[in-house]
Each structure stands twice: as structure tokens, then as C-alpha cells.
Homo-oligomer: A and B are copies of this chain.
Amino acid sequence: MAPRDDAAMSDRPRPLGGNEMPRFGGPATMMRLPARDSAAGLDAAFVGVPLDTGTSNRSGARFGPRAIRAESALLRPYGMATRAAPFDSLTVADVGDVATNPYNLLDSVARIEAAFDDILASGCRPLALGGDQTVSLPILRAMARRHGPVGLVHVDAHADVNDTMFGERIAHGTVFRRAVEEGLLETGRVAQIGLRGTGYTAEDFDWSRAQGFRVVQVEECWFRSLAPLMEEVRGQLGTGPVYLSFDIDALDPAFAPGTGTPEIGGLTSGQGQELIRGCRGLDLVGGELVEVSPPYDPSGNTALVGANLLYEMLCALPGVASRN
């Protein structure tokens, strides 16, 4: 994606800086970017999807967007490791939250789907602040409607490929099975990274493999850089559109305590950064950071991790220049 020509760099929105307004003040938008009512004219947009009625254990992810935005005030515009300059390159803003229905999960799914249809209609690449993982299904529906079936990088402790949960077909643990059934994914262009823990059967992850997904259990990730893995993943996913779904519980609860279904033995936050930085070069059409549950995050640091990972996603989008 080339940055929009009609937006001269100097006119692009930039995060409100810490020397203009102290970091503890200012608007509680993502990175203190301008709030916009729509994605029209934006290259990329942060969008909140407050939802936790798809979650099986601890709730609270409904407050994820608010908390991620609050902690994002600490972010500055340039990536020091990547030297990425997203705000020099892209027109980015915060387009607010999808109005989910707190009492009706299926209606929330429909509302999210409609909201992302709108965002995608303008050619914008959305970066979603979850909410629980259920949000992935309506977003992928909108993505597939816009782009056709997409590739997927899915970083998570869980495969989320259950057939049903408590008899329901839509919940935070079923979304990628539904996505396959609905033809939203190019199944040979899917990688699931970080899977672990306990399962209903010992074969739970085999369904993924049977679809052609690359499945990387967390034990393969321990004690090492994931840059080589991502080189392989880029090879696997090639040139088509790719969606990036990052469940914060892919990280070990030491790094991300505030989440609903934590699993021990997870990734470090540095590995999380490597995974997203390793998506640079793919045609990322959007991304999401899900399952931050603020009530279980008294320090705010899980939300801070989420904010940082969303920033890394922004830096990994096509068209973002690196300053070397």
C-alpha cells in the first residue's frame, strides 16, 4: 500500500506529544491521535471493539479498548528498533468504538461486521482493540467480503477451533473453525503460533493441521528468537492479503497477567514484538489485539503491552517507511 498522495506528510495527524501535553493528560484516544467519526481518508485506523460476552472464563475484556487507549499515551511516534516512521508515512486516527450489544452476542457480531464493512469500504486498514476473540469472526467476514479469503497470522495460546462451546457456534473459542467453514481464510496461508496448555482432547490442534494451517506449539518457541520462524511464515503466506490476530494470552501471564484464559509457559513480550515485526513485508490488511481484561490488570501493564503491540502492527503495515 502506498501512502495516500493527497496527504502531505506535514498535514498528517500525529500523536499528541509529551512536550505539548503531559502524558498523564490529553484525550484518551489511541496514542492521543485525533478522534475521527469515520475511517474515510485514513490509511489506517484504530478502532475499539468492547466485548466480553464471548468469553468462557474471566470476563472484563469489554474494558480492553478503554484501558489500551489510556496506556497508549506513553507511546512516541518512532520505533527505535525498527526505525519505522508510521506517522510520516500514513494517515492514521482513532475512529472510536463499535457499539456492541452487551446482552446479545449474536447482535454484537452483526454490529461489528457492519462497522468493519464501513471501515474497509474506505480503503483503510483497521487495527482493532478488543474485546474478546469473538470479534475475529465478524472482522474476517468483512475482510473476506472486501479482499476475498485472506491469509492469517494467529498468535495465541489457544487454537480457537472448537466446533461449539456450551452448544453455541459462536464464542471466543470457535471463531477460526467458523472462519474456515465460511471460506474466509486461505487455509494454506494460515499460521497459528504459541498454542499450548490443556485440551478437551489430545488432538485439539490436529484439526488445524488438517486444514493446512502451520501450527507452532509454544515449546518450539522457548528460549529462542522467533525471527527465523517468521521468515518461514512470510514464505508460507506469500503475497496475498493477510490478517494478523494477536491474542494477548499468547504471551505468558508474567508479561500479560490481565487476560481471561491465561495459560502458563507462554511467549515473552519481546517474542511478541518479533512476531509482529516479522510480518513486515506481508500485505497486512488489518490486525487486532484481543483479550486484554483490565479488571485483572491492576498495574495497567497488560494494556500497555497491548498498546505497544498495536503500535508494532501499525509499523508493520505496508507503506510505512523506515528511517535509516
Minimal beta-carbon separation of A301 from chain B (angstroms)? 5
Is there contact, CB below 8 Å, between A27 and B96?
yes
Q: Check A1 for interface membership: any CB of B closer than 8 A.
A: no
Contact mask A229-270 → B, CB, 8 Å, 1/0? 000000000000000000000001111011001111110111
Q: Check A4 for interface membership: any CB of B closer than 8 A.
A: no
Minimal beta-carbon separation of A96 from chain B (angstroms)? 7
Is there contact, CB below 8 Å, between A25 and B80?
no
From B29, B78, B309, give the contact of A202 (CB < 8 A): B78
- Please indicate the chain B residues that have their CB under 8 angstroms from the CB of A22 in the complex: 50, 56, 62, 99-102, 166
Contact mask A286-317 → B, CB, 8 Å, 1/0? 00000000011111110011001101000000
- Please indicate the chain B residues that have their CB under 8 angstroms from the CB of A113 in the complex: none
Minimal beta-carbon separation of A298 from chain B (angstroms)? 5
Minimal beta-carbon separation of A164 from chain B (angstroms)? 8
Range class of the A interface residue count: 35 or more
Classify the interface of chain A: helix, strand, loop or mixed.
loop
Q: Check A65 for interface membership: any CB of B closer than 8 A.
A: yes
Is there contact, CB below 8 Å, between B78 and A19?
no
- Please indicate the chain B residues that have their CB under 8 angstroms from the CB of A74 in the complex: 57, 261-262
Is there contact, CB below 8 Å, between A50 and B76?
no
User: What are 23 A-B residue pairs whose CB atoms fall within 8 Å in the complex?
Assistant: A17-B200, A21-B97, A23-B56, A24-B66, A25-B48, A27-B96, A53-B105, A55-B102, A57-B73, A59-B60, A76-B197, A80-B199, A81-B217, A83-B202, A252-B268, A253-B269, A254-B268, A255-B264, A263-B308, A264-B308, A266-B269, A266-B270, A296-B299
Q: Which 7 A-B pairs have the closest CB atoms?
A: A295-B295, A28-B28, A202-B323, A25-B97, A59-B59, A76-B198, A25-B50
List residues of chain A with CB under 8 Å of any chain B CB.
17-29, 35, 48, 50, 52-60, 62-63, 65-66, 69-70, 73-81, 83-85, 96-105, 164-168, 170-171, 195-205, 217-219, 222-225, 252-255, 257-258, 261-266, 268-270, 272-273, 295-301, 304-305, 308-309, 311, 322-323
